[in-house]
Amino acid sequence: MTIRESDFPYLPKDFIQTKEGLIFAVVSYHDHGDKVGCFLRYVPDEKGWHKVNTEQANQLLKNEFPQYMFRSEKVDAHYHAVAIDDIVVHHQPEKRLQEVLARAAYDDIEKKLHKLIPILNQFGVSTESLGLTGSMLIHQQVATSDIDLAVYGRDAFQKARIAVRQAIDYGVIEKLDLSLMRDNYERRDSELKYDDFAWHEERKFNKAAIENTKFDIGMVCLDDETEIDQHQYQKLGPRTFKTQVKDDLRAFDFPASYLVTDDETPEVLSFTHTYIGQAQQGELIEVSGMVERNMATGQCRLIIGSSREAQGEYIKVLNR
């Protein structure tokens, strides 16, 4: 399986590091004029790096590193981008996973990773389809860190979801308990009430726990599973409506895509991980987000995650 294209080897779940020591999470599959679409996640300090939130990231770049601020004319949105020439380290999840598995574990989190991967293998997941992302990708994990796994390819990801479900059934890993689910909820800052949030999360099987450490799996599409959208979009304004899901094939993609029966906005896209895998074919949902119009075709779509925090934006299944 070829994970990376030689002409543009950057993928979501990768981290890229600049000469100033800033570490960005890659968020785009395609280049933006010799730049990598990304978002600042870690900044250097005396101990290594510390994580920053959206507001802190934007403020720092605006004040000190404006060259990394980026406005996409194509999607009428602000995010970050780093010129390929400014990248000094390209952190790749699949290489990092192999490195950690090839040696003795350094800490308790790595010990749990060493136990988790053989469990996933036992239930049909190939290590070659996996990568290690998040804080562990850059050696910044602490005792309370999660294990964040990238899964390359849509088929491999669905196999991994089935494996998580089966491993829970066999009792070798656990569903998120109340404490871990609450923590997940607070980190996500979802617009849904806790009970609604937990109901949606429990049926995704993209998160579970091993020895009380949460892990999650996130899909990264292969090259033949992505499409370059060359169209330009204009934001029209917020909209909330009820509709039915008619196609959920790309529900776990990034961005997640749901084709729905609404004539005005027949596609709902989620750029926030909170609503990835949120709804299934045939379900009645309520969605709230930002309408965008394709300036070439006039076709509209609804965006969940028009800002990184996605305040006021959500997908909720109604016919539970």
Place of tokens 């060259």: 67
pLDDT at position 310 = 63
Rounded-to-integer distance, Cα 313 and Cα 316, Å: 10
Amino acid residing at 226: T
**Residues of the chain falling short of pLDDT 50:** none
Rounded-to-integer distance, Cα 188 and Cα 274, Å: 6
**Residue 254: partners with Cβ closer than 8 Å, 6 or more residues away:** 12, 27, 218, 219, 220, 221, 271, 273, 276
Rounded-to-integer distance, Cα 17 and Cα 9, Å: 15
pLDDT at position 309 = 56
pLDDT at position 239 = 95
Rounded-to-integer distance, Cα 131 and Cα 65, Å: 30
109-112's contacts with Cβ under 8 Å and 24+ in sequence apart are: 109/136, 109/141, 109/143, 109/145, 109/147, 109/213, 110/136, 110/141, 112/147, 112/210, 112/211, 112/213
Contact between 310 and 191 (Cβ < 8 Å) = yes
Burial (Cβ within 10 Å: 0-12, 13-18, ≥19) of residue 171? exposed
Query: Which option is the CATH number for 93-220: 3.30.56, 3.30.460, 1.10.3470, 1.25.40?
Result: 3.30.460
pLDDT at position 61 = 95
The yes or no reply on domain 229-317 and CATH 2.40.128 is no
Question: What tokens appear for 55 in the block?
Answer: 């507001």
Question: What tokens appear for 135 in the block?
Answer: 């804080």
Q: Which residues are paired to 89 by β-bridges?
A: 17
Domains 93-220 and 229-317 share a fold: no
Burial (Cβ within 10 Å: 0-12, 13-18, ≥19) of residue 72? middle
pTM of this prediction?
0.93
Rounded-to-integer distance, Cα 87 and Cα 69, Å: 15
| Beta strands at 35-45 and 77-83: parallel, antiparallel or unpaired | antiparallel
| DSSP symbol at 231 | -
- Name the residue ranges covered by the structural domains of the chain: 15-91, 93-220, 229-317
